[in-house]
Amino acid sequence: MDYPKTREEKLYDYYLTLQSDEFKEDILNWESFKEPNTLVSLRINFTWGWLRVYYTNAGNVEWY
């Protein structure tokens, strides 16, 4: 049975569509992350470090 995707999974999938194949190769995993004043936020772990990816309250996707 297929379960509906969570908001976190949808954000991760969308983030992947914005990245190059080379960049995606460095991704190790992702996890939920608490970021103030956001709707959904993730911590994406790479071989070289990590980034925060989130939906802002205005509905925009940002990362840093």
Q: Is there a contact between 23 and 63 (Cβ–Cβ < 8 Å)? A: no
pLDDT value of position 2: 78
CA 7/CA 14 separation, integer angstroms: 11
Q: Which residues touch 50 (CB under 8 Å, ≥6 apart)?
A: 43, 44
pLDDT value of position 14: 96
pTM score, two decimals? 0.88
pLDDT value of position 19: 93
Chain segment 2-56, per-residue pLDDT in tens:
788 999 999 999 999 999 999 999 999 999 999 899 999 999 999 999 999 999 9
The bridge status of strand 61-63 relative to strand 38-46 is: unpaired
Distances (CA, A) of 53 to 15, 44, 45, 57, 63: 8, 7, 11, 13, 4
Question: Does residue 1 have a pLDDT over 80?
Answer: no
pLDDT value of position 3: 84
